[in-house]
Structures are given as C-alpha cells and as structure tokens.
Amino acid sequence: MKTFEKLMSIKRDRGAGYLILIDPDKIVRDKLPAFVRESTEAGADGFLVGGSLMSTGEFDNVLRMIKSNTTLPVVIFPGSLFQVSSIADAILFLILISGRNPEYLIGHQVIASPIIKNIGLEAISTGYMIIESGKTTSAEFISNTKPIPRDKPDIAVAHALAAEFIGMRFLYLDAGSGADVPIPDELVKKISKASSLPIIIGGGIRTPEDALKKVEAGASFIVTGTIIEENSYGRLVREFAETVHSRARMKV
C-alpha cells in the first residue's frame, strides 16, 4: 500500500492521525532508537523527518535509524533540496503556496523531481501554508516569504481552494516550529469547511488539549516536534495519541 493511502486509512480508522516531527539537527542521536520505539508503542501514527537546516549531514543515517526501529510510515518533510532520500517511505512534495517566492513554488521542485523519480520515492503533493504566529519562524526566514496573516481566514481559504483545484493531496498549515501560538481554531474551521483536502496542522502545539481543538476544528493530522524533543517523551506521546484519536471514539 502506498504511504498516502496508509495515512488516509489512519485518518479513516482513527478519526485523525498523530505524527511526530524529527529534526535531525535537534535530536540526540544516542536516544533516537529508543525514542522511535517508545513513540511507536505509545500510539503515534508516523514520523515526519526534516528541518530548516541540515547541519549534521546525517540525514540518511537518521532516516535509517528511524526506519530500523519502527514499522510506521516515515515521511520526509523537506526543509531544503538536501533532504531527499530513498530510505524514507515517501516525501511531502511541498509547494509553498502561501509565499510568492518562485524558488519555493516551482524552482526547487524542478530540481528535485528527476531525483525523486530515479530513486523511486513516493511524492505526496502538499500545499504548504505558513501562517503568522507572532514571531519570525525559521521556515519564513529561510524561504524568504511572508506568512498569511492569522486574522485573515478568507485569504487562507482562498489559498486552500487554489491548492485543491490545482490537484494537491494534502494541505499543511504551519505556524512554524517553536511558534508562540498555534494556528487559530477559527482559521482551521473555515478551511476545513471550504476544502475537502485533508489538513495537517503543526507549529506551536504544546498540549494534547491544543491538539484536540485542532482536530475538532477539522484537522486530519496533528504534528508536534519541539514539545516532544523537550520532554520525557513516552508518556506525552501516549497522551497526544490518545487525545488525537479520541475524536473517532466520540463518533462511535
């Protein structure tokens, strides 16, 4: 089964999915195998791997380490062209639709596509939207783009519709890693009402309650990075996973 279908079946069966972002620059290598095993056992639904920089040059090794400790989907969330590898199950083929920087709209994609094809990596077309979160995030700075204002849901909805009409398969709404505040619930609600694309939400989600609010507003997948990096993860991963999946239980 393709990774995209696997992710969609997780959403179908569990109401929503919980993904953990691993930034190879931020993890402690020695702890990674145990972290991946514990997160898998604690009910996470998959791993995203990527970051704004890749200073360690260890991208493939980190992916190998993750893959050998879990059977869950391992998907690249690329911060740059250096983050393409056949070791992952798939790559979120990001188009930074909230920005107007041609390099992130088509330039990098053209360079990466033949490589992705040649190594046989599954590419999942994803409309990537950076939403303003009160401070300049790495994604915003590195991509040299302006985020969508958090109090302008109509503008966000228009971008989401364009992504759907172009034929993208996911929307990723990102407040940016370590954001002070996550994406507003109201904005998620309006996008999920207007668009039928599955929505991934990340950036600044610190508690299972934050996550639940996004799921109730219409998110299909919740991503956390920073909070899990900073905490004794096993217990917190379980709390996040149970809370995100609780929506399916409520429906029964």
For ligand 1GP, which is the closer residue by CB, 101 or 120? 101
Tokens of 126: 């994803």
Closer CB to ligand 1GP, residue 31 or residue 117? Answer: 31
Q: How far is the CB of 66 from ligand 1GP (least distance, A)?
A: 16
Q: Which is nearer to ligand 1GP, 69 or 177 (CB)?
A: 177
Number of Cβ atoms within 10 Å of the Cβ of 247? 15
Chain positions contacting ligand 1GP, by CB under 6 A: 21, 174, 177-179, 202-205, 223-227
- CB 120, min distance to ligand 1GP, A: 26
What are 47's strand-pairing partners?
Answer: 20, 74
Instruction: Provide the minimum distance between the beta carbon of 25 and ligand 1GP in the complex, in angstroms, as a whole number.
Output: 12
Do residues 174 and 139 touch, judged by C-beta distance below 8 A?
yes
Q: Which is nearer to ligand 1GP, 15 or 203 (CB)?
A: 203
* In the complex, least distance from residue 86 CB atom to ligand 1GP, rounded to whole angstroms: 23
Q: Tell me the closest approach of the beta carbon of residue 219 to ligand 1GP, in angstroms.
A: 12
CA separation (Å) from 102 to 154, 230, 250? 23, 35, 43
Closest distance between ligand 1GP and the C-beta of residue 243, in Å? 15
| CB closer to ligand 1GP out of 78 and 225 | 225
Which residue is associated with the tokens 């360079």?
111
Distances (CA, A) of 40 to 33, 65, 84, 129: 11, 14, 23, 28
If the CB atoms of residues 110 and 182 are measured against ligand 1GP, the closer one turns out to be 182
Give the max Cα distance, the chain.
46
